[in-house]
Structure 1
Amino acid sequence: MAKPDSQDLYETDYYAWVNRQLELLRTGQWEAADIQNLVDEIEDMAKKIKRELESRLKVLLMHLLKWQYQPDRRGSSWEMSIKTQRHDIPELLAENPSLKSKLEESITKAYRRAAYEAHIETGYPEEDFPPNCLWTFEQFMDASFWPDRFKD
């Protein structure tokens, strides 16, 4: 029985394709490797890591916004979420130091999503949330930072 080629395997059995590519790379059989799909997969890996950073920032910022806007609803789940992201974000950045160059862009993108989701979850008008993050990365990552309600 003939072995399926890499493209067929990629489309029909991803796990087998990955293991086959590993075998080819480990044994130096570069010409037999499915280079185009490997390139695509590596590119996707980089995108996933950046999306993970943005997702973690969004969760942190959304819970900080809800903490600020809904002091009467503060609870242990929001607190745990905030503390978890404050713990996990630095670990992600330590494992992927080049992400630090994307931090400002990621915060901007994450904040926009966080403000929108906080608007949906709180029921407050969208315009009640500032269009840009009011806190610096250092500030919102600081374990002692817990925002108070805006003073009118």
Structure 2
Amino acid sequence: MSQTLYDRDLYDWSMQTARLLREGRYAEIDTLHLAEEVESMGKSERRALEHRLVVLLVHLLKWEYQPEQRSKSWQRTLIEQRKQVAKLLDDSPSLKPRLTDLLVDAYDSAVRWAADETGKDESEFPQNCPYRSKQVLDPSFSPGPDETDATRRD
């Protein structure tokens, strides 16, 4: 059984497919694999958003459950992850209605990660995500007790 270009060299296949599309040579395009790759791109966007949400939730949990460890680094992570989530949602607005479900999925991973980083047991964190999607994305939202200069570390 001979392998297709797609099976032998994905990069070469993608460059050839792009060229065929630009030239309007649609009959020569490997449409089955093209459809798979386009679908895969969409799934990658969803996974990227979920990963950003996991990192964001981890830092929100750490912020709330380890106030004595708060740092500028954590603040920068919260800012950056929120910025990246906003960019992903701007690029793929159809993911916005899925945000609540993605937060539910991301929260399970975030709890495990936060427990590992804080040394706390997973049971010490809420079973369900305590933050609404609006809060998670809000740059002014910080969970837990108010931060003071005495509790912030650099």
Q: Shared topology, TM-score over 0.5?
A: yes
Runs of 4+, deviation exceeding 4 Å: none
Give me the whole-angstrom Cα distance separating, in 1, the residues matched to 2:114 and 2:40.
29
2:109 equivalent to 1:91: no
Give me the whole-angstrom Cα distance separating, in 1, the residues matched to 2:141 and 2:26.
52
Give me the whole-angstrom Cα distance separating, in 2, the residues matched to 1:25 and 1:142.
41
Name whichever of 9-18 and 126-135 sits farther off. Answer: 9-18
User: Where in structure 2 are the equivalents of 1:30-41 lying within 5 Å?
Assistant: 30-41=26-37
What is the alpha-carbon root mean square deviation over aligned residues? Answer: 1.5
Name whichever of 61-70 and 131-140 sits farther off. Answer: 131-140
SS of match in other structure, 1:143:
coil
Match of 1:109 in 2: 105
Deviation at 1:38, TM superposition (A): 0.6
Name whichever of 135-144 and 102-111 sits farther off. Answer: 135-144
Match of 1:43 in 2: 39
Aligned residue among 53, 59, 68 for 1:63:
59
Match of 2:142 in 1: 146
Q: State the TM-score, normalizing by the size of structure 1.
A: 0.88
Deviation at 1:140, TM superposition (A): 2.2
Match of 1:124 in 2: 120
Name whichever of 39-48 and 132-141 sits farther off. Answer: 132-141
Greater relative contact order, per chain length (Cα 8 Å cut-off, separation 6+): 2
Give me the whole-angstrom Cα distance separating, in 1, the residues matched to 2:17 and 2:136.
42
Q: Which runs of 5+ in 1 are unaligned?
A: none
Code of the residue aligned with 1:129 in structure 2: it is F
Count of residue pairs the alignment pairs up:
144
Identity of aligned residues (%): 42
Deviation at 1:13, TM superposition (A): 2.0
2:12 equivalent to 1:16: yes
Give me the whole-angstrom Cα distance separating, in 1, the residues matched to 2:136 and 2:96.
16
Deviation at 1:8, TM superposition (A): 2.7
Q: Which runs of 5+ in 2 are unaligned?
A: 146-154
Q: State the TM-score, normalizing by the size of structure 2.
A: 0.87
Give me the whole-angstrom Cα distance separating, in 1, the residues matched to 2:69 and 2:7.
48
SS of match in other structure, 1:146:
coil
Deviation at 1:34, TM superposition (A): 0.9
Aligned residue among 71, 78, 87 for 1:75:
71
Give me the whole-angstrom Cα distance separating, in 2, the residues matched to 1:128 and 1:50.
29
